Amino acid sequence: MRVWLVVVVLLTVCSSPMLTQPHSLDVEGGVVHQTSPVQTTIFPNTGWMTGGEERLIQGSGFTDLAYKNTSYDGIEHQWVETTADSTFEAGHENAIVVDSNGHVHVVHANGGTHELKHTFFDGTAWNSMKIKDCERSYCVHTHMVIDDNDELHAAYYAQGGYLIYMHYNGTDWSSTVVSSNAAYGGIGVAVDSSNYPHISYAASGNYCGSGLRLSSFNGSGWSTQTVDQHIDRGCDSALVIDGNDRFNIAYQSRDDSKMKFAMDNSGSWNIYAADAGESLYDLHPGYFLSMAIDEQGQVHIAHFDDENKDLRYSTGVPNGEWTSTIVDSAGNTGHNPSIGLDVADHPHIVYQTWSGFNFKYATIDPTTSEWAVHTISNNGDVGGSNSLFIDHVAFSDESNDVLRYASKPTGVSLTQEVTIQFGQEAAVTGTVLNDSTIRVTTPSVNTTGTVNLTLVDNNGEEHHLSSNFRFVDQDD
């Protein structure tokens, strides 16, 4: 559905560099701390004085030391659309993910046969298969994530108060009834570092439920806890689990017209108001909300204000400052938003406008730092159900009753870099390919000989490398 854990499009932070135990040398006026070199190898470890040769430095912990360099290709990329499933009444309540092979997976409901389907692109063509029949007459508010084994985890609400979890192991689908007391409305699903699923939802009762719940699987069974027990709270929730296995839930608090954010704090919950009006009914925020969290822990939420019929964007950090802006206020707009973050942690939002029932896309213009709004499709009633996985969008086309897919590169690229000093001769920028490899191009120098290598990290600190490099004169 609408919540993506940023970790599917960003580099993973790994272990720190291999350092031996530091020792200190006492000097007059203080203590000078010296550390042993970072254990590395460079191959080949010789090169011409003229430079321009590519070398690889091998070690560990380089990701932690790198700074990020974001660039834009400057190309006005266009959306490319296709039909993913042309079965009559396909595409309802869809959710999209992309696996490590670049294959797209969409789970969606068929409004005519009342069945759930798995549509996927295998690199050559689109394929569809039936997963199961919906409980009773409909299944809605589907949400899905993919784990680091490329297994799919989906959840949805079924008529009668049923909360259903589904799992795809790469070959077969299985499903489990997690609760028979769920309220109608958006739900969230996420997996922890053990790839165990967790689902946020509202308990049945009132318009917005009778409190926010979190159901968790521990490898053998499901358990449920109450996050916010107040009546008329908990609907339209979104769940993200961060790199420390902390639960982060955004949800609607309809009894006091607020959008709230709850973070797990070692068994208890800290709850904040992420968006609210100056008075009780100035805003009705938090409808259809979608959430992502970036590498720095910044929370990004797209949601609909049912009072003013606008698309809103709220961002902040737990126990810190939150800000909210109007992304689009042109008519009755901002329904069912889905948010994702690119490699530079910039937000991208897709949503439907009810003024014409068009499918729209909003992101922050890198040159103006303002929201820029574009139309993906205006061919009939499109985008009422949609989902976003950066560069990839699934959406319903209810005029033609098919599932549509669109893609567009963000044009943003991210490199992780460090500075490598070759003795006192020269310094070059090294590209961190992964946590254990840096690629450098050797500099041009004036003299031959062996030099020490030093890495300058993202904080400007120097790390001496155990490797040396020898410059050779081509004429010798």
Q: Phi/psi zone of residue 101: left (φ > 0), alpha (ψ -120 to 50 degrees), beta? A: alpha
Q: What angle do CA 16, 412, 442 make, to 5 degrees?
A: 55
pLDDT digits (tens, 9 = 90+) for 154-171: 999 999 999 999 999 999
Beta-ladder partners of 419: 429, 456
Q: Has residue 175 got a pLDDT over 80? A: yes
C-alpha distances (whole Å) from 59 to each of 11, 73, 133, 433, 469 are 17, 31, 52, 12, 15
Residues 245 and 237: their CA atoms lie apart, in Å, by: 18
pLDDT at 300 over 60: yes
Region 114-134 average pLDDT: 97
- CA count, 13 A, side-chain hemisphere, 347: 29
C-alpha dihedral sign at 348, 349, 350, 355: negative
Q: For residue 319, what pLDDT is reported?
A: 85
Rounded CA-CA distance 118/45 in Å is 52
SS3 65: helix
Q: Which pLDDT does position 132 carry in this prediction?
A: 97
State percent of the chain over pLDDT 70: 92
Predicted TM-score (pTM) of this structure: 0.85
Helix (H/G/I), strand (E/B), else coil: 423: coil
Q: Which of 110-114, 246-250, 288-292, 313-317 has the lowest mean pLDDT?
A: 110-114
The whole-number pLDDT of residue 366 equals: 82
pLDDT band for position 36 (cuts 50, 70, 90): low
Rounded CA-CA distance 348/361 in Å is 7
- pLDDT at res. 373: 97
Distance CA 122, CA 392 (A): 15
Identify whether the C-beta of residue 144 lies closer than 8 Å to the C-beta of residue 170. no
pLDDT for 28 equals 34
- Token duo for residue 23: 């020792």
